[in-house]
Amino acid sequence: MNAPVPSAGSPEREALPVETVDLRREFAEVGIGEVLDQLERELIGLKPVKTRIREIASLLLIERIRQRMNLMSGVPTLHMSFTGNPGTGKTTVALRIASILHKLGFVRRGQVVSVTRDELVGQYIGHTAPKTKEILKKAMGGVLFIDEAYYLHRPDNERDYGQEAIEILLQVMESQREDLVVILAGYGDRMDRFFASNPGFRSRIAHHIDFPDYSDDELQAIAERMLHDMNYKFSSGAREAFVRYIALRKTQPLFSNARSIRNALDRMRLRQANRLVADLDRVLTADDIMSLEASDVLASRVFGKADPA
Amino acid sequence: MRVTQGCFSFLPDLTDQQISAQVQYCLGKGWAVNIEFTDDPHPRNTFWEMWGLPMFDLRDAAGVMMELTECRKVYGDRYIRMSAFDSSHGWESVRLSFIVNRPAEEPGFRLERHEAEGRKIRYTTKSYAADRPEGVRYGDK
């Protein structure tokens, strides 16, 4: 009270929120632009997901500035749920989210701990709590990614230990929001049922993101990208055959988007290697070793099944 | 009498924020942090009970602090310490240990003189707390 004016003035100004913020500089400083661009570049398709992540990133950027202006109201809830069919990139996006959150300073370390039911739920009474807590401790300061989260809840068995894990999770999700971000992932319809039977989860999760299936063109682009990363390429015949392959494979059961594509490519590499080894007298060029031919694609079971039908 | 064992024990008790910072330092060095407790303050009592398992592979102090809170709930009337274990080759031992919780009252130690043969005297330190049975040495717990 009696302190001289200048010294009373300066802490005052310190405590007083900053009035203006250079948004562009703030954006550059945080370095999320880079992560978002990378997301845009490296992930094919997934428009709604990318839009949503951009929105979340913008929200958090603004939240950060609000914090500095003393307009903050508690830690924002960042728990998310990713729903979508198999192979639509949920895990990949979770990794990116972690790095965005880390850059913005909403998680301190930015590691992703990816678990399924097995790692959270115990085998006998008293086994679950320590197990779940151990995982939670490892995930502190980062992101806990629970894949196929609906397996935690087994409605047919009321003595299932999954419920215990759920309760611990919920408690930590609520009380240690600033320490941990939980991302639940799984197939759409089952996640809906999971949330219906565990309303606590639904209300604690701020962002529900739905991952759409890939279109044929996107799958083709994904295949090309994967091959490029593995230093392979399609011959023009193989490319044309693969377009047909995708169309056929999609109609068959157990199609899991990018994962099916990856598996198909692995089998094609196998066939290509086999084809090359079959002719031992040939002198191979790098180009031969790199390219997948139409025959490698067409030998797939997918075509065999489709023809008689 | 204030028990002084391990690091920082001549300083005022660490606040949770300070404990958290120390733990974060340990984790940053790749050490596994353990929580241990005892109600026998004798300096030669080196092996304390462990609270749960050693916490390997943690990245952030919040996990350890969560356990410390739990441990305090149960054994808040005893001594609790953190020890940081370095598993790297050549060390394989505890690198740092410090007390993070102590009983409200520490009655201290008495010196017992045992007269041995001749005029020889053997000295023994005994803590007053240890006169009571284990588990009820501090408070009514």
**Beta bridge partner(s), residue A304:** none
pTM for the model: 0.80
CA distance A72 to A137: 27
Minimum mean pLDDT range among A47-56, B2-11, B37-46, B84-93? A47-56
Which run of H or of E encompasses B111?
Answer: strand B109-115
> What proportion of chain B, given as a percentage, has pLDDT over 90?
83
B11 touching A (Cβ < 8 Å): no
- Do residues A85 and A213 lie in contact, with contact meaning Cβ atoms separated by under 8 Å? yes
- Do residues B38 and B44 lie in contact, with contact meaning Cβ atoms separated by under 8 Å? no
Which are the contacts of B2, defined by CB distance < 8 A and separation ≥ 6?
B9, B102, B106
Residue-level pLDDT at A296: 87
Contacts of A142 in chain B (CB under 8 A): 59-60
> Are A142 and B60 a contacting pair at CB < 8 A?
yes
Please give the residue of chain B at the shortest CA–CA distance from A112: B59
Residue-level pLDDT at A15: 53
Which are the contacts of A111, defined by CB distance < 8 A and separation ≥ 6?
A98, A139, A141, A142, A143, B59
Nearest CA distance, A273 vs chain B (angstrom): 40
Helices vs. strands in chain B: H and E counts, helices first: 2, 6
Please give the residue of chain A at the shortest CA–CA distance from B70: A133
Which of A108, A137, A172 has its CB closest to that of B58?
A137
Pick out chain A residues at pLDDT < 50: 1-14, 308-309
Contacts of A136 in chain B (CB under 8 A): 63, 66
Residue-level pLDDT at A25: 82
pLDDT in tens, B107-136: 999 999 999 999 999 999 999 999 999 888
Cα-to-chain-centroid distance, residue A33? 18
Which of A109, A130, A172 has its CB closest to that of B60?
A109
> Are B60 and A136 a contacting pair at CB < 8 A?
no
Question: B41-77 as b/e, with b when 16 or more CB fall inside 10 Å?
Answer: beeeeeebeebeeebeebbbbbbbbbbbeebbeebbb
pLDDT in tens, B69-80: 999 999 999 999
Mutation site, A106, A134, A182, interface B, largest B CB count within 10 A: A134
> Are B55 and A137 a contacting pair at CB < 8 A?
yes
Nearest CA distance, A112 vs chain B (angstrom): 11
Q: Which A positions 89-118 lie with beta carbon below 8 A of chain B?
A: 108-109, 111
